[in-house]
């Protein structure tokens, strides 16, 4: 069948969407989303303020796919579907950044892009992936203060809750949350394509662990009484945490670890062998808030991360 690959299909980036969205106030942070409906698949790009920002990338789970994860400074972060091939979208972001500065290649002019991917081929019959052109389109469409929720961008074909059977996975997407404490701003954005299920603060499973015959969802501890987990492949949760609070290198690294570990409350189980979880923490270091320590900022961001996961499956 023709049109099943990037080489065969005529692919047109879509960058304007209707539907639920998060509105937030973070000057300088621009977000762009682009999709190929023929996948469907997509990518989500976070363009950081001019000059870039300090970053720390925490990689967990047994099956990650990243590019630039060793960088301690970044100008953009790109999340994409398409598994390994979707890393090309990050290269497209880098190419667009290069074009904007006139294709200069001075040592101190090159802008760094961090990328992570999810495996989103499970529910479709083609191999179309977010490529270089889609990454460029996402960056071109970036704007401040708006983040589409649900099955958009990198989360276009994401699924969750495959703990007991790949076929029982349910549609998910991308979610976000934002809070301001004084002059400190912190935002969390996540693409949930997890092996585990999404759990709310009452312990209720809101997506995943679904019994197809009864149409009910079961907490993990109860589901284990009936059957053992199956190693369903193709899972990853990608998360970006962005703040303007000043954090030194050590604090930023531990901030990333703290928030990433906290997601195990919202996604159960988490960081499995068949997950490729990645969290990128970014600080623009613009604000010094003496009342907010790095540890307390981590607590706030961890609660926002739970909110972001729940927002990935809007009603």
Catalytic residues, by residue number, are 236
The DSSP element (H or E) to which 17 belongs, if any, is none
Tokens for 122?
Answer: 């499970």
**How far is it, in rounded angstroms, from Cα 274 to Cα 62?**
6
The single residue listed with the structure tokens 């890393």 is 87
Closest to 175 (Cα-Cα) out of 131, 137, 207: 207
Cα atoms found within 13 Å of the Cα of residue 16, Cβ hemisphere only: 0
**How far is it, in rounded angstroms, from Cα 155 to Cα 291?**
36
Vertex 166, ends 164 and 172: CA angle to 5°?
A: 100
Q: Pairing between strand 236-245 and 278-287?
A: parallel
**How far is it, in rounded angstroms, from Cα 292 to Cα 25?**
19
In our burial notation (b when 16+ CB lie closer than 10 A, e otherwise), range 86-103 reads bbbbbbbbbbbbeeeeee
Backbone angles phi, psi at 246, to 5 degrees: -70, 125
Cα atoms found within 13 Å of the Cα of residue 128, Cβ hemisphere only: 27
C-beta separation of 113 from 89 below 8 A: no
């Amino acid at each position: 069948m023709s049109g099943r690959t990037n080489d065969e299909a005529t692919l047109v980036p879509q960058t304007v969407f209707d539907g639920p969205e998060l509105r937030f106030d973070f000057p300088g942070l621009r977000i762009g989303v682009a999709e190929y409906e023929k996948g469907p698949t997509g990518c989500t790009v976070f363009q950081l303020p001019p000059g870039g920002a300090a970053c720390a990338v925490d990689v967990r789970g047994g099956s990650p796919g990243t590019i630039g994860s060793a960088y301690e400074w970044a100008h953009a972060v790109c999340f994409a579907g398409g598994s390994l091939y979707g890393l090309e979208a990050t290269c497209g972001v880098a190419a667009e950044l290069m074009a904007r500065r006139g294709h200069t290649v001075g040592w101190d002019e090159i802008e760094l892009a961090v990328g992570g991917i999810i495996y989103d081929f499970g529910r479709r019959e083609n191999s179309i992936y977010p490529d270089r052109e889609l990454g460029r389109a996402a960056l071109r469409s970036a704007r401040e203060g708006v983040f589409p929720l649900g099955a958009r961008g990198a989360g276009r074909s994401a699924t969750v809750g495959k703990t007991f059977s790949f076929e029982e996975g349910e549609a998910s997407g991308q979610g976000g949350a934002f809070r301001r404490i004084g002059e400190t701003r912190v935002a969390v954005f996540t693409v949930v394509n997890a092996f585990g299920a999404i759990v709310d603060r009452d312990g209720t499973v809101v997506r995943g662990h679904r019994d197809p015959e009864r149409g009910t969802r079961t907490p993990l501890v109860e589901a284990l009484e009936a059957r053992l987990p199956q190693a369903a492949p193709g899972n990853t949760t990608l998360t970006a945490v962005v703040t303007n609070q000043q954090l030194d290198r050590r604090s930023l690294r531990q901030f990333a670890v703290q928030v990433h570990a906290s997601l195990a409350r919202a996604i159960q189980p988490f960081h499995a062998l068949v997950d490729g979880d990645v969290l990128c923490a970014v600080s623009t270091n613009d604000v010094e808030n003496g009342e907010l320590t790095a540890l307390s900022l981590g607590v706030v961001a961890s609660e926002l991360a739970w909110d972001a996961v729940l927002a990935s499956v809007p009603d």
